[in-house]
């Protein structure tokens, strides 16, 4: 297993490019299963999760052609199987996103039941309930979700109990091919869902209310091929901004989308950052100052994203003052605080809240990444720690951050990867 070795203390400064959004690329890749024509997707990030989704499409018989810039053309007309096997689903929960498209297009599918993960139990009951409302018959057999429809799915009125990103994505994809109108209430409205909906519209789908929590989808008999560029990754953007803020540095991020980051940018300003925005760039300048502690509470978009919580916990651990970070989406997502405390942070966990007393400096220690965003927070902690920190189990970070050490090196960080 690779490790990252980071010598802390450098003030980050420079310019980097932001990659395409993982969480938008994954459902868009799944959406290629909705039609029998080639769909070409560009601005895909070069990440393990994307490779896993491409492998999943390929193992079901889709023809996948990748060019040198990682634009890919998927042609699902050659599909030979509608089974998403355990060996791939177990490595990536987002494989569940093929359930809605396969069921809607082919009338039957078996998708391995995804398990829990480090950040919580993560059920898929709401995905299944939405598909059942559209007429699917669903049974669980030998660890697989077996979903069947008699003919086309039917338009339905679905009210989600909880705001679910993946559940909304599966339902909206299935509804594009259903017979009649589907109304999804209390739908998630994360920017990645807007991106997915725009791609579906480019494939011929009819969707109203894009960007709101009420989506109205008029099903079509078929969708067609298209070309689509994935949006920039707002979580990658937020992670680099937070890393630079923690080191009191200055950065320009290019090829990003400031409009999808309002909650995060306003918290960074509260922490003392000077921020300027253009249409596709953001600059952040701490003017050499230590960040101020900021309170954070995660909630569905447009509130503060759970995927930025760990990075802000790291920022607050070296900030001036005391803060509270409340996690409302996943039950076990403050877990990285224990590793940060091993580096001298003063974080007390009380249920779903972390009370953080900022310290002037963290100290290096061997630490271990437990999930994707927790890994990013340990990288931030290591960047500001005194001494050399070794971060183990770094494979998590490769699921969500393209070329992380190269990008941080460009900003002046002293970071290297060593194979085990
Ligand atoms: C997606 C993102 C993930 C992000 C999360 C919340 C992808 C690939 N992943 O995950 O990075 O952290 O949104 O913004 O896009 N829930 C249920 N039943 C369900 C589904 C969800 O109870 O059927 C609960 C979950 O346990 C959780 C909450 O709903 O407490 C939100 O989860 P959800 O939005 O579905 O997260 P994902 O789509 O898995």
Whether the predicted pLDDT of 116 surpasses 60: no
Nearest residue (by CA) to ligand 1, atom 13, is 165
CA distances from 248 to 95, 111, 180, 271, 333 (A): 39, 46, 55, 11, 26
Pocket of ligand 1 (CB under 6 A): 23, 26, 94, 120, 122-127, 162, 164-167, 188, 192, 306-307, 329-330
Alpha carbon 301 to chain centroid, angstroms: 13
pLDDT of residue 243: 98
Four-residue CA torsion sign, 162, 165, 167, 169: positive
Whether the predicted pLDDT of 65 surpasses 90: yes
The DSSP code for 272 is T
Cross-strand pairs, 199: none
Whether the predicted pLDDT of 294 surpasses 60: yes
Mutate to test the pocket of ligand 1, among 100, 159, 164, 230 (most ligand atoms within 8 A of CB): 164
Can you tell me which atom of ligand 1 is nearest the CA of 329?
Answer: 30
39 phi/psi in degrees, rounded to 5: -120, 125
Sequence-ordered list of residues with C-beta below 8 angstroms from that of 21, at least 6 positions apart, any chain = 45, 191, 192, 195, 230, 231, 232, 233, 234, 235, 236
Number of other residues whose CB lies within 10 A of the CB of residue 139: 9
- Average model confidence (pLDDT) across the chain: 95
What is the average per-residue pLDDT within 143-149? Answer: 95
| C-alpha 164 – ligand 1 centre gap (Å) | 5
Whether the predicted pLDDT of 121 surpasses 80: no
What is the average per-residue pLDDT within 240-248? Answer: 98
pLDDT of residue 40: 97
Share of the chain above pLDDT 70, in %: 98
Nearest to 282 by CA among 262, 298, 309, 301: 262
| C-alpha 388 – ligand 1 centre gap (Å) | 35
What digits encode the pLDDT tens for the residues 259-274?
Answer: 999 999 999 999 999 9
Whether the predicted pLDDT of 169 surpasses 60: yes
Nearest to 72 by CA among 232, 229, 297: 229
| C-alpha 188 – ligand 1 centre gap (Å) | 10
| Residue scoring higher pLDDT (200 or 142) | 200
Mutate to test the pocket of ligand 1, among 309, 329, 334, 373 (most ligand atoms within 8 A of CB): 329
SS3 258: helix
Contact status, residue 392 vs residue 1, Cβ threshold 8 Å? yes
Whether the predicted pLDDT of 115 surpasses 90: no
Nearest residue (by CA) to ligand 1, atom 4, is 307
What band does 332 get if pLDDT is binned at 50, 70 and 90?
Answer: confident
| C-alpha 79 – ligand 1 centre gap (Å) | 28
Whether residue 117 lies in the annotated active site: yes
Number of other residues whose CB lies within 10 A of the CB of residue 161: 10
C-alpha angle 61/63/67, rounded to 5°? 145
Question: Which is catalytic among the residues 35, 59, 82, 117?
Answer: 117
Share of the chain above pLDDT 90, in %: 88
Q: How far apart are CA 418 and CA 415, in angstroms?
A: 10
pLDDT of residue 3: 92
- pTM of the entire structure? 0.97
Nearest residue (by CA) to ligand 1, atom 33, is 164
What is the average per-residue pLDDT within 187-214? Answer: 98
Lowest-confidence pick of 68-72, 251-255, 383-387: 68-72
| Residue scoring higher pLDDT (193 or 397) | 193
Whether the predicted pLDDT of 167 surpasses 90: yes
Mutate to test the pocket of ligand 1, among 31, 116, 162, 264 (most ligand atoms within 8 A of CB): 162
pLDDT of residue 297: 98
What band does 120 get if pLDDT is binned at 50, 70 and 90?
Answer: low
What is the average per-residue pLDDT within 267-294? Answer: 98
| C-alpha 165 – ligand 1 centre gap (Å) | 5
Angle between helices 191-202 and 165-175 (to 10 degrees): 10
pLDDT of residue 420: 76
| C-alpha 197 – ligand 1 centre gap (Å) | 18
Taking the alpha carbons at both ends of the chain, their separation in whole angstroms is 5
Nearest residue (by CA) to ligand 1, atom 12, is 307
What is the average per-residue pLDDT within 270-285? Answer: 98
What digits encode the pLDDT tens for the residues 359-418?
Answer: 999 999 999 888 888 999 999 999 999 999 999 988 889 889 999 999 999 999 999 999
């Amino acid at each position: 297993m690779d490790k990252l070795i980071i010598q802390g203390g450098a003030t980050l400064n420079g310019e980097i490019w932001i990659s395409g959004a993982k969480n938008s690329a994954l459902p868009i890749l799944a959406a290629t299963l909705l039609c029998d024509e080639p769909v070409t997707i560009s601005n895909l990030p070069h990440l393990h999760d994307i490779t896993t989704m491409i492998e999943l499409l390929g193992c079901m018989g889709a023809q996948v052609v990748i060019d040198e810039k990682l634009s890919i053309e998927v042609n699902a007309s050659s599909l030979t199987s509608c089974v998403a096997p355990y060996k791939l689903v177990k490595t990536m929960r987002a494989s569940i996103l093929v359930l809605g498209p396969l069921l809607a297009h082919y009338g039957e599918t078996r998708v391995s039941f995804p398990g829990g993960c480090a950040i919580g139990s993560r059920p898929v009951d709401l995905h299944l309930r939405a598909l059942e409302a559209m007429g699917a018959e669903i049974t669980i057999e030998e660890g697989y979700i077996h979903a069947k429809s008699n003919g086309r799915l039917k338009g339905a009125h679905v009210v989600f109990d909880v705001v679910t990103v993946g559940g909304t994505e599966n339902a909206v994809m299935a509804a594009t091919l259903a017979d009649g109108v589907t109304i999804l209430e209390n739908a998630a409205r994360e920017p990645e869902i807007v991106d997915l909906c725009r791609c579906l519209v480019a494939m011929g789908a009819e969707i109203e209310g894009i960007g709101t929590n009420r989506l109205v989808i008029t099903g079509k008999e078929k969708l067609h091929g298209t070309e689509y560029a994935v949006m920039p990754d707002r979580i990658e953007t937020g992670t680099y901004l937070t890393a630079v803020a923690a080191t009191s540095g200055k950065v320009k991020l290019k090829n990003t989308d400031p409009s999808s980051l309002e909650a995060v940018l306003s918290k960074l300003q509260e922490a003392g950052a000077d921020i300027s925005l253009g249409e596709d760039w953001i600059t952040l300048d701490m003017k050499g100052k230590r960040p101020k502690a900021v309170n954070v509470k995660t909630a569905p978009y447009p509130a503060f994203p759970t995927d930025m919580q760990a990075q802000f916990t790291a920022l607050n651990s070296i900030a001036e003052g005391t803060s509270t970070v409340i996690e409302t989406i996943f039950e076990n997502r403050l877990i990285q605080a224990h590793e940060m405390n091993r580096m001298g942070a003063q974080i007390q966990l009380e249920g779903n809240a972390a009370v953080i007393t900022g310290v002037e400096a963290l100290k290096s220690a061997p630490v271990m990444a437990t999930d994707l965003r927790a890994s990013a927070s340990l990288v931030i902690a290591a960047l500001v720690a005194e001494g050399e920190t070794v971060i183990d189990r770094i494979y998590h970070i490769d699921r969500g951050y393209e070329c992380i050490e190269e990008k941080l090196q460009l900003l002046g960080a002293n970071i290297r990867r060593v194979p085990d």
